[in-house]
Amino acid sequence: MELKLAEELERKAKRQKLLMQIQILEGYRRNVRQALERLEDGKTIYRAAHASYTPSWQGETRQAYEQMASELNGAGNRSYTVGNDLMNAISGEIRRLQDKADALR
């Protein structure tokens, strides 16, 4: 009887630990999603400024701007790729942990 009680308590403790890990990962996933949303907000501001100010730029100023804009776009695209990959990995880990927790019910 005591052995069963000890096993039951251990199973519940393991399940609680898994559920806490899931909560932590869900918070991390929210942070990543928020960072991606802020990146999108920044891109919106950049596009508005681009449309308002750059059409008349010429010469060296235009070339320097085009180079910087290209680098920013590339960095933004890489950030989206990394962010989406991270979101997918976190979601996969949450599913894996949830399956383990469900098995301990």
pLDDT > 70 fraction of the chain, expressed in percent and rounded: 100
Per-residue model confidence (pLDDT) at position 84: 95
Q: Are 10 and 85 in contact (CB under 8 A)?
A: no
Residue 80 has pLDDT above 90, yes or no: yes
* pLDDT bucket at 92, cuts 50 / 70 / 90: very high
Per-residue model confidence (pLDDT) at position 1: 81
Q: Are 87 and 54 in contact (CB under 8 A)?
A: no
If one counts the domains in the chain, the total is 1
Separation of CA 37 from chain center = 10
Mean pLDDT, the chain, whole residue set: 93
pTM for the whole structure:
0.82
Q: Are 25 and 97 in contact (CB under 8 A)?
A: yes
- Structural domain boundaries enclosing 8: 2-103
Other beta carbons within 10 angstroms of residue 18's beta carbon come to: 19
pLDDT tens, position by position, 43-77: 899 888 888 888 888 999 889 988 988 998 899 99
Closest CA to 57 of 69, 71, 74: 69
Q: Are 102 and 15 in contact (CB under 8 A)?
A: no
